[in-house]
Amino acid sequence: MSLYKELIEISHKVYQKGFVAAYDGNLSARIDDYRILITPSGKCKGELEEKDLLEIDYKGNLLRGEGKVSTEAKIHLVAYNKRKDIGSVIHCHPVYATALASIGEGLMRPVFPEVILSLGKVPLCKYGTPSTDELPNSMLPYIEYAWAMLFENHGAIAFGKNIKGAYFRIEKLEHAAHTIAAARMMGREKSLPMNKVRELYSISEEVYGIKIDKRNRFDY
Ligand SMILES: [Zn+2]
């Protein structure tokens, strides 16, 4: 499948899942060392077509396409420029993840085994005014290791080696935030004990060969 087609399919999915409303959110994928494919400003993600997508360089200059480059392209660029292992970025406003961000919380406790392995820590980036450098700058303390982050009073961002990988992280993040909200209606979620968290890391390394950056580990 072409990168164009895949980015459109996932954009539609992000809208159908209710992870964005109206014109919100933006998605991108690395094409090569010179170009990034990104959704344009001011268009609904549920209605996008391949011809709407833009190609930009690593400074955010428009190379190809008719639309306007989003002011939020900066948060994509900081990810691609800082991390060679990131091939796709999705920024959106999923309800439960954004609700956590609005009460000043990230997902910084080890609660669910699969979330510990696939997302690791999901830090909360300090509030920054959209379109200014405050927002990309707020990612800098965590960008070297995190695979997902929350933006205080704003939304969420996830990274993947490819588009599907970034999408699944956003989906998992929203599912975890939703489950935590449900748990809090019944009491309060419990963290896993650290010996169980360590056991999980050792199994993931031995069985699946997954090596997690130590800064993204809960026992570090
Ligand atoms: Zn946003």
CA of 155 to the centre of ligand 1 (A): 6
Our separate counts of H helices and E strands in the chain read 7, 8
pLDDT number for residue 211: 83
Q: How far apart are CA 132 and CA 164, in angstroms?
A: 28
The reported pLDDT for the residue numbered 209 is 79
Query: Six-digit token pair at 138?
Result: 């707020």
Start-to-end Cα distance in the chain: 39
Residue 75 Cα, ligand 1 centroid: separation in angstroms? 10
Ligand 1 center from residue 139 Cα (angstroms): 14
| pLDDT score recorded for residue 169 | 97
Identify the residue whose tokens are 């997508």: 53
Q: Where are the domains of the chain?
A: 3-216
Distance 92 CA to ligand 1 centre (A): 6
208 confidence band (pLDDT: 50, 70, 90): confident
Cα(206) to centroid of ligand 1, in Å? 38
Phi, psi of 183 (to 5 degrees): -60, -35
Nearest-10 Cα torsion for 177, 182, 185, 189: -60
Q: How close is the Cα of 24 to the center of ligand 1, in Å? A: 6
CA of 135 to the centre of ligand 1 (A): 10
Which overall architecture, per CATH, does domain 3-216 show? 3-Layer(aba) Sandwich (3.40)
How many angstroms is it from 118 CA to the middle of ligand 1?
23
> What are 13-55's pLDDT values in tens digits?
999 999 999 999 999 999 999 999 999 999 999 999 999 999 9
Ligand 1 center to residue 173 CA distance, Å? Answer: 16
The CA 90 to ligand 1 mean position distance, Å, reads: 10
Q: Does residue 52 contact residue 44 with C-beta atoms inside 8 Å?
A: no
- 3-class SS at 167? helix
| 94 in Cβ contact with 167 (< 8 Å) | no
Query: What average pLDDT does the structure give for the chain?
Result: 96
Amino acid identity of 145?
Y
Distance 157 CA to ligand 1 centre (A): 9
pLDDT in tens, 127-177: 999 889 999 999 999 999 999 999 999 999 999 999 999 999 999 999 999
Written as six digits, the tokens of 71 are 């002011």
- Cα angle 48, 19, 176 (rounded to 5 degrees) comes to 145
User: What DSSP letter does each residue of 13-63 carry, written as one string?
Assistant: HHHHTTSS-TT--EEEEE-SSS-EEEPPTT--TTS--GGG-EEE-TT--EE
Q: How far is the CA of 197 from the centre of ligand 1 (A)?
A: 32
Spatial separation of the C-alpha atoms in residues 188 and 157, rounded to whole Å: 25
Report how far ligand 1's centroid is from the alpha carbon of 93 (Å): 6
- The pTM (predicted TM-score) of the whole model is 0.96
